[in-house]
Structure 1
């Protein structure tokens, strides 16, 4: 199954969808291996036309390259995934990575080489390792900072003492869920930066998106997440949405798919202007 509306040939694509169904380090409820398929399936009901930007998704040169299937060597898989995503970047296309657990963002960041990572996430993900593994989904923002200059984490509401100490350094900004509305009212200017936007679906309150591995209450509303996507998308060199699993009736996948489309509409509008 391809993402509905992703009708462009690969050579003509401005946006390349790549599924990354990695499910190797989920720590509570597994199932992210089903994320890319569910995001595609629950996007079938969405209209092609976006009234806010007066664009048709099928006109925006989106190509679905299918899934890069994982194997049991996570480090080798991430290296391979980085190469697949870098091929899109070298063709002047924007990678749209659909996870899979959040660990896949490491590959996306290495491929796109942004100045700044903006991430919607319930968790800080700033551990240096988790259960002895530095390539764990709980470490992904820490690993991304090996490439990006800084990280802005929106919606984070939990983390270990080590992570909060790491978050206090100058290269990390944390915006709590209750402060995101104020952040949107007076957002920072990313004009001089290249940005990678990562949407961990658990950034949403689990009442809106229960189909994720590590639910954390008191999260963001879908409308707040959409506001972040709309503001950040014009400055982005890549995008991902991750941590959708199969443990709900499609709410998480539907939200992830809608935010992906919002990203494309807003990025394309800015690109065309």
Structure 2
């Protein structure tokens, strides 16, 4: 159980779902251990949040446990979508903990946002990668089948075709050096917020599958999470693996808590 997630399912305002998919990782596998490690390294945090003057244990967070992957990724995404959609329809904001970034596809389909906002080193706009239409490198492409537009914050790498696709009107790619000055402008639009931990510079979060230098600092990521949370209908943090001493998992857990505090405050 995620520390502090003490609410009963029927009374939950937030529902945490572990999604340990590790099917398409293209460099360093281990994302299957992400949900376990995020829960483990959240043990150290104080319950009380000074900024909001709230206690995490009082915010109605329920931990559903993990939805284990199947051999077929498309089938798994359908199963995960159903689980997330059930919480969404019950009025509990889903908090998905990956697993590879592909799990975000299920959550976006379940919550049907107007805008997909992602902290990510990669554009993830490929239609397929290595012959896999559900590769972790296709997430933003799939999200745009649901959302009207996508904003990728911290993007610093992609194929030539992806950068060309990012020039279209429904995609905004914000480089790391501009993220601190970015502010959300959603009007009345609903938003889904996805955090790929590789948005962080690997010096802060080395435990991820495809680390990319010259990334974001944790404080910049926290500020984005806080600013987007008030209009978010769902949240995930993904791509944490077991290839470090807990830095990536610690950051992921803290960002999840920051989301809940900011969303509840709003």
Which TM-score band (shorter chain)? Answer: over 0.9
Distance (Å, rounded) in 1 between the aligned partners of 2:207 and 2:178: 25
Cα deviation, residue 23, structure 1 = 0.1
Give the secondary structure class of the aligned counterpart of 1:182: coil
Cα deviation, residue 15, structure 1 = 0.1
Distance (Å, rounded) in 2 between the aligned partners of 1:94 and 1:179: 29
Which of residues 226, 229, 239 is equivalent to 2:225? 229
Q: Would you say the 8 A contact 2:184–2:227 is kept in 1?
A: no
Encode CA deviations 1:211-249: one digit per residue, 9 max, x unaligned: 000000000000000000010000000000000000000
Distance (Å, rounded) in 2 between the aligned partners of 1:180 and 1:71: 36
Partner of 2:255: 259
Partner of 1:146: 145
Q: Would you say the 8 A contact 1:82–1:111 is kept in 2?
A: yes
| TM-score, length of structure 2 as denominator length | 0.99
Partner of 1:119: 118
Partner of 1:215: 211
Q: Would you say the 8 A contact 2:200–2:217 is kept in 1?
A: yes
Partner of 1:240: 236
| TM-score, length of structure 1 as denominator length | 0.97
Q: Would you say the 8 A contact 1:191–1:235 is kept in 2?
A: no
Give the secondary structure class of the aligned counterpart of 2:97: strand
Aligned-residue CA RMSD (Å)? 0.5
Q: How does 1:1-273 map to 2 (within 5 A)?
A: 2-183=1-182, 187-270=183-266
Gaps in structure 1 of 5+ consecutive residues: none
Stretches of 4+ aligned residues off by more than 6 angstroms: none
Aligned residue pair count: 266
Cα deviation, residue 118, structure 1 = 0.5
Distance (Å, rounded) in 2 between the aligned partners of 1:164 and 1:90: 36
Q: Would you say the 8 A contact 2:226–2:258 is kept in 1?
A: yes
